[in-house]
Amino acid sequence: MTRTLDVGCAQLGPIQRSDTREAVVDRLVALLQQAKHRGCELVVFPEMAFTTFFPRWWIEDQDEIDGFFEREMPSDETRALFDTARELGIGFSIGYAELDTSGPEPRHYNTSILVDQQGEIVGKYRKVHLPGHFDHVEDWTFQHLEKHYFDPSDTGFPVWRAFGGIVGMAICNDRRWPETYRVLGLQGVELVMLGYNTPIADPEVPHHDHLQGFHNHLVMQAGAYQNGTFVIGAAKCGNEEGSTMLGQSVIIAPTGEIIAQATSMGDELITARIDLDHCADIKDRIFDFELHRQPQHYGLITERKGAVLPPEVPA
């Protein structure tokens, strides 16, 4: 049997603070048009794809902060993307900063949505693993204030039956955590769509900067293999407001192999024809969860948050 799906991974070059939403949407639409020419049915866009990665700045004016957030999706400014997707018959996932005003208090989320080939939103995920710090660090040129600007997820990691398979989403830092893939894997996920904004410079461990690309692929390839799922990772990359962001967007098979990789640091579409039935090669054998998992020995994973060391043995 085959369940083939033509997928695209739409890497984005930098988005500067002065770029308008309309200008960005034009770039996204151009990538969708390329995707149509290459036969794609589904395209994955990066995290926070409509704006610059604003958590690099400490901003105190709440109106200015909220200017980076979307109050509705689609909005007048983003509707052209949805219209194009419907006209071309291409589904997509895309990340954005979401301001939810439906409750008593406004909530700010780092969000990703799944849109079907009719241009309708069929899934929403809000980022679980918010990286970085809460407060301004004076010494750093670039901050990483996701913990400051965003509320924690209220969605967890759902999956959806869509595009002929079982699909899920994750966002950037989520890709580094095995729990992300395993929770999705325990729901039978066959395709994980994720976007990322990864600054290459880490002020806390500058001696790791050369490892950013290695770690990026390491975690996604491991997550794919250990759960028998395809993974598509779409970067926002290049020099954004002076901060260099990692590219190297990829499409990864359930074997853990990279089957397509971006080669530029700008807007670039990579594509692959994937067969979702190949997930079973891994899911039904080496990682047959039902046969091999031993959850009675995994309790600490949900009971304990940080590591607790064993007592020291007196000398």
| Residues engaged in binding ligand CDT (CB under 6 A) | 47, 131-132, 144, 172-173, 176, 196-198, 202
SS3 156: coil
Nearer to ligand CDT, 36 or 144 (CB): 144
Residues 229, 232, 233, CA angle at the centre, nearest 5°?
Answer: 130
Residues recognised as catalytic: 47, 127, 172
* Tokens (6 digits) for 227: 């759960």
Nearer to ligand CDT, 3 or 215 (CB): 215
Nearest to 272 by CA among 112, 43, 13: 43
Strand order in the sheet with 107-115: 121-126, 107-115, 91-100, 42-44, 4-11, 268-275
Nearer to ligand CDT, 80 or 200 (CB): 200
Q: How far is the CB of 139 from ligand CDT (least distance, A)?
A: 15
Please state, in angstroms and rounded to a whole number, the distance separating the CA atoms of residues 89 and 224.
Answer: 27
Please state, in angstroms and rounded to a whole number, the distance separating the CA atoms of residues 79 and 72.
Answer: 10
CB hemisphere CA count around 130 (13 angstroms): 22
Q: How far is the CB of 9 from ligand CDT (least distance, A)?
A: 16
Q: How far is the CB of 156 from ligand CDT (least distance, A)?
A: 17
Nearer to ligand CDT, 108 or 144 (CB): 144
Q: How far is the CB of 173 from ligand CDT (least distance, A)?
A: 3
Nearer to ligand CDT, 198 or 229 (CB): 198
8 A C-beta contact, residue 71 and residue 20: no
Q: How far is the CB of 124 from ligand CDT (least distance, A)?
A: 18
Please state, in angstroms and rounded to a whole number, the distance separating the CA atoms of residues 132 and 55.
Answer: 9
Nearest to 154 by CA among 196, 98, 115: 98
Tell me the C-alpha to C-alpha distance, in Å, between residue 49 and each of 14, 179, 310.
Answer: 10, 25, 44
